[in-house]
Structure 1
């Protein structure tokens, strides 16, 4: 199958996803491969009266964790911190007091920066977990979108309503909480706001001019297009108007474009941000039965058992956003379905896209 036929098949599949599901309002996909000389940037659907556009900005959700982790790793390379440092060295007592009390023992002083990066601190996830008494945090955010929650508010909420899962370092438990703490550590080390540090160390040097931290900063280049809407709990939402989501902070508050995300991933993979050995350390995978393995601010997606052909790395987001690179095919698949009930289908779509690209691999092998 030729390149144009593969492109048409992928684009038809993208359009079908919207036309067959009224809950999907807008979808975005960028497929890039230097090996196959392809760069396909697509969009379908609408945001209000505007048709979806490939260059439109969208909320990236937990893809933002990769920015946080890479920034921490960059600061470590500069000698400003060490992955094995205890977090109490960088956080105020307001944060660390009673932070990790598990089975009547306080383990706060045992938590390292690496524990936070790798989701092995044992801390709970304020965003997804349901307290024994009360509503889930995301329910509170949606009920009062005008209320501003800060990173410190998420610390207080977690201490009051949630508890640690295990001792630090015992196993992995995905948590937004740990990444908010990393954001506070970045502020302590750089003496900048977290958003300012993102722009200074990553977005500006990489010319990611359309990328910013929603409700904290502005993009270097404003767009005439509105940011894409997202669907949360079946409600179409203008993310920038939900001030309550300011609380997600260093766990995934970034707005970007598919092109900017590609710029970042290529720079990361090609060693233009971090040293090769630093990236390799971030890719120390903790294998999980779900097929989504956790690294340090990165994920490895094992799309099929018993073969690495479709295995990709990068990160996923809770609104079916994805930023992935497949080494076997030298192909990036980046996109967003902007719906928090479509995460599984979003991963399946990325897998389906790689299966289409595999047809180009067969053509290369036969030449």
Structure 2
């Protein structure tokens, strides 16, 4: 009875959010747990943003398990010189020999991020500039060229979240398989997990017209709505998935059900290594949320889910003890705090599952 009341209160809170923010769609929420299923905001596919990094990391881990390369393999053994030459490196660091697959997965490569570049620098494909050229296509080569313009601020082993590393991981996948990254992702992750409504439209498009008619929920970067922006090709291998909420649950069920990688590999991916900010801890392509580190004291003692976060306030998380899946889409970075408040309420509901 108490849980039913809490679910009703959460639905009411989501309805109030939708009424207050009529300029954008209501938040999309899907919770799937034993004895509890909550859906709100519709089932339209949405741009998962960096939630897609969990899938890229999974694909890389699958190739590692197949013996294609190791997590300790240096990039110079996996990628051609054209990918690596000129990438920024700290003094005395050689990207070819000193940066490994594990460094890329754990955001510890030391290679700067083109999307959120170091303070005082800028690229043409950053959070502040990408909306200025919405019809521009960004190839992996062009993205790496933007990273080449930046100074190196960290050494391998030092944590700094970024997208450049996942462009390189996408190239590692291509070189290891001889196939396009999006094709490998489709045949080895999306199709085997039953993600029939999912696609990689921003990575596959080459001209703006390729995105005409795309079924995707709107999303905003600052004041700019970008659901038809070709410039979102910047998310190649780092989060270009468009998926309905139920498909994302299917992916997690396959991942945590042992159908993609071994339990040992999954534990290695999920193990927190570095704190990005209070409550947000990164492993190898996955994120752990520790609600107890957030400011309200009543959040202490909540379960700690593992999964992925996206820039547009997208969440995909699994609660191991509760066998529960949570998917959220709040459509814009400026609603990130709201998304976490909602997620915390869901975590409190799941304590009783």
Same fold by TM-score greater than 0.5: yes
Match of 2:36 in 1: 38
CA gap 1:23/1:313 in 2 versus in 1, 3 angstroms: farther
SS in structure 2 at match of 1:205: coil
Residues 249-288 of structure 1 aligned to structure 2 (within 5 Å)? 249-288=236-275
> Which position in structure 1 is the counterpart of 2:47?
59
CA deviation profile, 1:269-323 (whole Å, cap 9, x unmatched):
1211110100011122114251111001100000014955331110110000000
Report how far residue 42 of structure 1 moved.
Answer: 1.7
CA 1:75–1:266: 2 relative to 1, 3 Å = same
Question: What does residue 333 of structure 1 align with?
Answer: 326
User: Which residue pairs with 1:48 in the alignment?
Assistant: none
Determine if contact 2:274/2:281 at 8 Å carries over to the other structure: yes
Cα pair 2:76 2:95 within 8 Å, conserved: no
Distance 1:225 1:186 in 2: 27
Q: Secondary structure at the match of 1:322?
A: strand
Q: Which moved more, 1:13-22 or 1:198-207?
A: 13-22
Q: 1:9 maps to which residue? A: 9
| Alignment partner of 1:117 is 2:110 | no
Find the aligned partners of 1:348 and 1:93 in 2 and give their Cα distance.
Answer: 45
Q: Deviations over 1:108-135 (max 9, x none)?
A: 4210001100111111111122563545
Residue in 1 that maps onto 2:141: 152
- Alignment match, 2:210: none
Residues 1:139 and 1:309: Cα distance change in structure 2 (over 3 Å) = closer
- Is 1:83 matched with 2:71? yes
CA distance in 2, matches of 1:267, 1:217: 25
Which deviates further from its counterpart, 105-114 or 204-213? 105-114
The Cα of 1:334 is off from its aligned counterpart by 0.8
Question: SS of the residue aligned with 1:16?
Answer: helix
Q: 1:130 to 1:214 in 2, by over 3 A?
A: farther
SS of 2:127's partner is helix
**Equivalent of 1:344, from 325, 329, 337?**
337
Distance in 2 (alpha carbons) for counterparts of 1:29 and 1:346: 10
Is the 1:33–1:331 Cα contact (8 Å) retained in structure 2? Answer: yes
Task: Quote how far apart the aligned CAs of 1:164 are.
Answer: 2.0
Compared CA separation, residues 309 and 86, structure 1 to 2 (3 A): same
The count of corresponding residues between Structure 1 and Structure 2 is 339
> In the TM superposition, what whole-angstrom CA distance separates every residue of 1:128-178 from its partner, at most 9, and x where no partner exists?
225635456233320010111111111111111x12222212x21111100
The answer on 1:194 being equivalent to 2:190 is no
User: Partners of 1:105 and 1:190 in 2: how far apart?
Assistant: 28
SS in structure 2 opposite 1:26?
Answer: coil
- 2:44–2:217 contact (8 Å) kept in structure 1: yes
Aligned to 1:27: 27
Provide runs of 4+ in structure 1 moved above 4 Å: 133-136
SS of 1:95's equivalent?
A: helix
How much does 1:250 deviate? 0.7
Structure 2 residue ranges without an equivalent (≥5): 206-212, 294-298
Shift of 1:26: 3.2
Q: CA deviation at 1:23?
A: 5.1
1:212 to 171, 184, 199: 199
CA shift at 1:203, angstroms? 0.7
Deviation at 1:19, TM superposition (A): 1.7
Residue 128 in structure 1 maps to residue 121 in structure 2? no
| 1:46-79 CA distance string (max 9 Å, x none) | xxxxxxxx22100000001001000000011111
Tell me the TM-score normalised to structure 1 length: 0.86
